[in-house]
């Protein structure tokens, strides 16, 4: 099988994504599935995605290792989840509130035999005690959502990493160790890397 960015199964994932999403008008799904969730700000459901080449480099800087538990909070179509699972051998988990993403994510994971899990859950309520790396592409999230997300840091073990896009995380338990600019589907954005302190 030809490899995409040096990761053999990624081309199969990408082909299946094209196949499944070709028949969907995503803005309509986002509106129909996100609008009724009146307890969450609708602007949180805006589409945006981490390309594979950016995702693989972010995982490397997050020091993601084989067998570690990786969470993408607000995973969308799951490109970052597949990059972590297939590129690094991580146990990758994607969390999103929109059923279309979770349904297709699960189908693609099953069809490719990829160790990735997709949870239809509100990411502010998810348990992340076992996480080694948390990824949040959160520049579009409302301040209220961002503040709720930061509460999850209290669950993390020392040495685990918190990686966030476009927004610095201010928390007594976090120590910044890197920051880089990366290309996303919406343009260039700064990514901040933190380690959880003992």
Ligand X SMILES: C[S@@+](CC[C@H](N)C(=O)[O-])C[C@H]1O[C@@H](n2cnc3c(N)ncnc32)[C@H](O)[C@@H]1O
Q: Which residues bind ligand X (CB under 6 A)?
A: 40, 44-45, 48-50, 72, 74-76, 79-80, 95-98, 101, 122-124, 137, 140
Q: Which is nearer to ligand X, 107 or 175 (CB)?
A: 107
- Shortest reach from residue 198's CB to ligand X, in Å: 28
C-beta of residue 140 within 8 angstroms of C-beta of residue 46: yes
Q: Which is nearer to ligand X, 129 or 197 (CB)?
A: 129
C-beta of residue 179 within 8 angstroms of C-beta of residue 190: yes
- Helix, strand, coil percentages (3-state) for the chain, rounded to 5, are 35, 25, 40
Among 66, 77, 73, smallest CA distance to 22 is for: 77
- Shortest reach from residue 154's CB to ligand X, in Å: 18
Q: Which is nearer to ligand X, 99 or 175 (CB)?
A: 99
- Shortest reach from residue 136's CB to ligand X, in Å: 7
- Shortest reach from residue 45's CB to ligand X, in Å: 4
Rounded to an integer, what distance in angstroms lies between the CA atom of residue 99 and that of residue 68? 26
């Amino acid at each position: 099988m030809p490899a995409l960015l040096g990761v053999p199964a990624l081309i199969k994932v990408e082909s299946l994504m094209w196949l499944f999403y070709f028949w969907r008008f995503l803005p309509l799904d986002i509106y129909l599935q996100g609008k009724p969730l009146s307890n969450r700000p609708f602007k949180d459901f805006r589409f945006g995605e981490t390309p594979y080449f950016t995702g693989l480099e972010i995982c490397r800087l997050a020091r993601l290792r084989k067998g570690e538990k990786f969470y993408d909070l607000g995973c969308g179509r799951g490109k970052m989840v597949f990059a972590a699972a297939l590129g690094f051998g991580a146990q990758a988990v994607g969390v999103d509130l929109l059923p279309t993403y979770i349904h297709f994510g699960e189908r693609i994971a099953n069809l490719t035999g990829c160790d990735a899990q997709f949870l239809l859950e509100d990411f502010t309520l998810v348990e992340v005690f076992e996480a080694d790396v948390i990824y949040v592409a959160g520049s579009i999230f409302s301040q209220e959502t961002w503040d709720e997300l930061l509460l999850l840091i209290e669950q993390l073990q020392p040495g685990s990493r918190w990686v966030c896009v476009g927004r610095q995380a201010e928390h007594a338990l976090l120590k910044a160790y890197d920051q880089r600019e990366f290309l996303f589907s919406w343009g260039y954005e700064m990514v901040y890397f933190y380690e959880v302190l003992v």
